[in-house]
Amino acid sequence: MRRTEKDILVTKELSEETLYGINTARALENFALGQKKMNRELVRAIVIVKKAAAGTYLKLKIGNEDVESAIINACDHILNHECDMEACFPLQALQGGAGTSANMNVNEVLANLALLEMGRKPGEYDVIHPLDDVNRGQSTNDVYPTALRIAAIRQLRLLSDACAKLQTAFQEKENLWQDVEKLGRTELMDAVPVTLGEEFGAYAQALARDRWRLYKVEERLRQVNIGGTAVGLSTNADRKYRFGVIEELRRLTGYGLAAAEYPMDITQNNDVFVEVSGLIKALVVNLMKIANDLRLMNSGPNGGLGEVVLPKVQQGSTIMPGKVNPVMAEMTMQCAIKVIANDTAITMAAAHGEFELNAFMPLIADSLLESLELMTSSVQLFREKCIEPLQVNEMNCRKYLEASSAFAASYVPALGYDQVSRIIRDCSPEEAVKELKKCLEQKE
C-alpha cells in the first residue's frame, strides 16, 4: 500500500508503513552523499526537545491534550530504543538548511508514531500534523542548537569521566616509579636526570588541566535558545510556553539548562561550540605529546631506547617476524589528528553564520559530537590497553643515564658553565665525574 504526501513543491508517494514523510524523502534525494548518517545522540536530543515542548503544552493545558499525550508517547517510543533508528532517521549528517531536514525528519516520525498511538494511519496529518502539532511554537533555529547543546553536555561528561580515570592511571604510575631515575631529554638531546615518576606526574597535571577546562565550559553549553524560534525573538511562541519548556527540559535531562539572556545571540553565534572544540583540541594536543613520548621511550626493543615496555596487543608485521608495534599510542595520535581536523571544520563553519542564523550547523554538530565520542573511546582504550599495563625497563633507564653527561648541570653553580663544558667536552662521562669532583674539592 502507498500513501501520497505533498508540500509546496511537489507530491510524493511513500509506502504506508514508512514513518517519515515527504520532507525527509526529499532530503534523502537531495543530500545523497552516501557517507555518515545523522549522529544518533543528536537525534535523541531533538526528540527530548520535542517531548519537553509537548509536555509543556500538556501541563499548561494549551491545545489538544490527546494529541500532546500521543506525541509524548511517540517520543518515549524512540527514547526507549523501541524504534528502528536506521529506518526512521536515514538522513545524512551533512545537509543544507541549518538542520531543517533533521528537524523535519523528527517531526514527521513523531507525528506518524503518534498517529499510530491513536489508532490512525501514517500520513493523516489533519489529526496530528508534523509542523502544527509536533513543531508547535518551535523552529529548527531554536530546536537544533538546543538539542546539540544537550547532546554535547552528555558526551562532555562522559569524556570528562574518561579523562579522570586516565589522570588517576598517570598518578598511579607517578607513585610507582617515583624512584626510577632516568635521563631527561630536551630537544631529543641529553639534558638532566629525572625520574620516570616525575614524567608521569607531569602527564597527570596536563590531564588535570584538561579536565578542569572541559568541566568549566559546560556552563556556556547550558545556555539555550529554545523558545526563541526563528531568530531569537520568540515569533509564534506562547509566553507561558517559553518559560515552561526550559523547566521541562531541565527535568527531562537533569542538566542545569537556562534560558539565554539574549536568545538572538545564541541563535546566530556559534562561538561556544568553537570554544568546546578548542578545549577538546587542547586535550588531544596533550595526549598526542604523551603518546609520542611513550612511542619513543618504547622504541627498539634492541635498536632504540627501550626505557618503557608498551603492552604487546597484536602482531606488528606481515613480513618481519616477531615485530610488535606501539599500536595503541598510534591509534591515540590518529584520533587526535582527526579532532584537530574537526576543529578546523567547526571554526570555519561557525565563522560563516551570516546575519541571524548559521546555515552550516549540521557540519558543526557532526564534527563536534564526533570529536567528543571519538576521544571518549580513545581515552578509555589508551588507559586500559596502554597506560595501565605499561612496564618499565629500569636497566635501560639506568644505562642511558650513566652513559650521559646529564649530571653536569648540577656542577655549574659551583664551577661555572665554561669550565664544566670544557671538562664534559674533553672527558668520557666516567672521567668527567672524577674531574668535576676534583675541581670542586680544590675550590672548596
Q: What pLDDT sits at residue 433?
A: 84
Mean pLDDT of 206-217: 96
Full domain range(s) for residue 412:
406-443
Residue 68 sits in the same domain as residue 194: no
Last residue of a domain, one of 111, 136, 161: 136
227 lies in some domain: no
Q: What is the CATH number of the domain that holds 187?
A: 1.20.200.10
Residue 317 bears catalytic tag: yes
Last residue of a domain, one of 115, 136, 157: 136
Residue 178 has pLDDT above 90, yes or no: yes
Q: What pLDDT sits at residue 442?
A: 85
Percent of the chain clearing pLDDT 70 (strictly above): 100
175 lies in some domain: yes
Q: What pLDDT sits at residue 166?
A: 98
Residue 300 sits in the same domain as residue 437: no
87 lies in some domain: yes
Residue 16 sits in the same domain as residue 65: yes
pLDDT in tens, 338-395: 999 999 999 999 999 999 999 999 999 999 999 999 999 999 999 999 999 999 999 9
Q: What pLDDT sits at residue 325?
A: 94
Q: What pLDDT sits at residue 330?
A: 98
38 lies in some domain: yes
310 lies in some domain: yes
Residue 127 sits in the same domain as residue 156: no
Residue 291 sits in the same domain as residue 209: yes
Residue 432 has pLDDT above 90, yes or no: no
Residue 185 sits in the same domain as residue 296: yes
Q: What pLDDT sits at residue 45?
A: 98
244 lies in some domain: no
Q: What pLDDT sits at residue 78?
A: 97
Residue 323 sits in the same domain as residue 381: yes
For the chain, the average pLDDT equals 95
Q: What is the CATH number of the domain that holds 103?
A: 1.10.275.10
Residue 121 has pLDDT above 80, yes or no: yes
pLDDT in tens, 5-19: 988 888 889 999 999
Residue 444 has pLDDT above 80, yes or no: no
Residue 195 sits in the same domain as residue 322: yes
Residue 123 sits in the same domain as residue 155: no
Residue 273 sits in the same domain as residue 189: yes
Q: What pLDDT sits at residue 317?
A: 86
Residue 284 sits in the same domain as residue 375: yes
Q: What pLDDT sits at residue 443?
A: 79
287 lies in some domain: yes
Torsion of CA 425, 428, 434, 440, to 10 degrees: 10
Query: How many domains would you assign to the chain?
Result: 3
Q: What pLDDT sits at residue 376?
A: 98
Q: What pLDDT sits at residue 71?
A: 98
92 lies in some domain: yes
Q: What pLDDT sits at residue 213?
A: 95
Q: Which of 15, 69, 317, 378 does the annotation list as catalytic?
A: 317
Q: What pLDDT sits at residue 369?
A: 98
Residue 414 sits in the same domain as residue 350: no
Last residue of a domain, one of 75, 104, 136: 136
